[in-house]
Structure 1
């Protein structure tokens, strides 16, 4: 028995998600509704993609890693390949799941991975064998995926005992995870930039040196600038795996940076961000390419700010 007042800690903090991520009724309802709609056309009752078979010969402490891999497969090979007009809210659900995967970017497997890879390959093979029906089945099991993810990544594991003081609170600052997400963004941003037209406007900049100073010390500027990229910049582009990852990464950064240094909510747009939006709108479609081109400026700002977090 654990000592009185003790609490179980995760085998790896990187393999933990906050319960609140799954308690948002809006996205839960969207996910369940999408799954229910897809099941209406699923006549196959003999096969299941999401189930306990994914955990065969896998230790309980590695289950979150398994579900992270499943999410990556479902998002990349299913949700992003289905026409958006076929299912309502599929883009929102894809972004939510991608955000969970991003938050678990530091979650690693402990031990030998042969059984995990075998189980995942069997799931992928079964989905491919079913063809279009396989993708439809995967969408029809999104509610199962949601529940399995919640159970595997938010439940308290049954191993290491630590004091309550050491347990992670809902608003804890996860500096290591934020830094890891930013590092991954550098790689994804490079690939993403290569897939869109280059920024040919060299005599103007959206992100200026004066904005950097404000970004470092003003939480409203940080929050609004990240929101600007998610809504105005990436929102103007078509769906794709790199875009979904980057959007979810920005949302994860925004949420977790505010946990490190809570920011008082405000409806007023800061002057700095207002100027950026004004130039962005004036440039039209070219403004999108310029903003993405300037990820080379923004990402180092984020990394520099992370290093100042105590």
Structure 2
């Protein structure tokens, strides 16, 4: 996705969220509460990410890891499985590696991202029916790209968290009003 595509996507998500904020939703289910409360989690994710972005941006010279294929799959009928698989990959592989490899001041922010990812993953599993999950997402090519980057893969994966946040935000925003 080129820069103008990212900007256009961000503007669309912003418009969706502003429109959604104009109407008050009276949630009667856990899934409604999850969807309506997601903007607050996203704000926390972006705040922690902002604190570590400079470090990862300065150490990243790889091709894109989170690309249009990931966005296409998140926006498709398998979106919840894509989000689940990618969150699991970050929780099991990327974030633990980032904590081991980096300075102490980034650990708190990486832990914060990890805690929110765990909570997000747990809530996504609870709300599978709400999200109309279908066939599981195949994450193998994503993992293979990460592994080919060897030691610099963690820099790429951490440096692209903003894209992942945006794709997840678009997915969750697309489910608003389904409760």
- TM-score tier, shorter chain, comes to 0.5 to 0.7
Please give the residue correspondences for 1:106-117 in structure 2 after superposition, counting only pairs within 5 Å. none
Note the residue ranges of structure 2 that are not aligned, 5 or more in a row: 1-25, 101-106
Please give the residue correspondences for 1:114-129 in structure 2 after superposition, counting only pairs within 5 Å. none
Taking a change above 3 Å as real, the CA distance of residues 296 and 167 of structure 1, as seen in their structure-2 partners, is closer
Please identify which structure carries the higher helix content: 2
Alpha-carbon distance in structure 2 between the residues aligned to 1:287 and 1:187: 22
Q: TM-score, normalised by structure 1?
A: 0.41
Q: Which residue does 1:109 correspond to in 2?
A: none
Offset of 1:277 from its aligned partner?
Answer: 0.4
Alpha-carbon distance in structure 1 between the residues aligned to 2:137 and 2:31: 25
Alpha-carbon distance in structure 2 between the residues aligned to 1:248 and 1:238: 13
4+ residue segments displaced more than 6 Å = none
| Paired residue total | 141
Offset of 1:230 from its aligned partner?
Answer: 1.2
Please give the residue correspondences for 1:173-212 in structure 2 after superposition, counting only pairs within 5 Å. 173-196=33-56, 198-201=59-62, 204-212=63-71
Q: 1:261 aligns with which of 102, 106, 128?
A: 128
Matched, 1:214 2:80: no
Q: TM-score, normalised by structure 2?
A: 0.67
Alpha-carbon distance in structure 2 between the residues aligned to 1:255 and 1:238: 22
Secondary structure in 2 matching 1:237: helix
Taking a change above 3 Å as real, the CA distance of residues 212 and 172 of structure 1, as seen in their structure-2 partners, is same
Secondary structure in 2 matching 1:238: helix
Structure of higher CA gyration radius? 1
Offset of 1:210 from its aligned partner?
Answer: 2.1
Note the residue ranges of structure 1 that are not aligned, 5 or more in a row: 1-165
Alpha-carbon distance in structure 2 between the residues aligned to 1:235 and 1:304: 26
**Once superposed, what is the RMSD of the aligned Cα atoms?**
2.8
Contact 1:173–1:257 under 8 Å retained in 2:
no
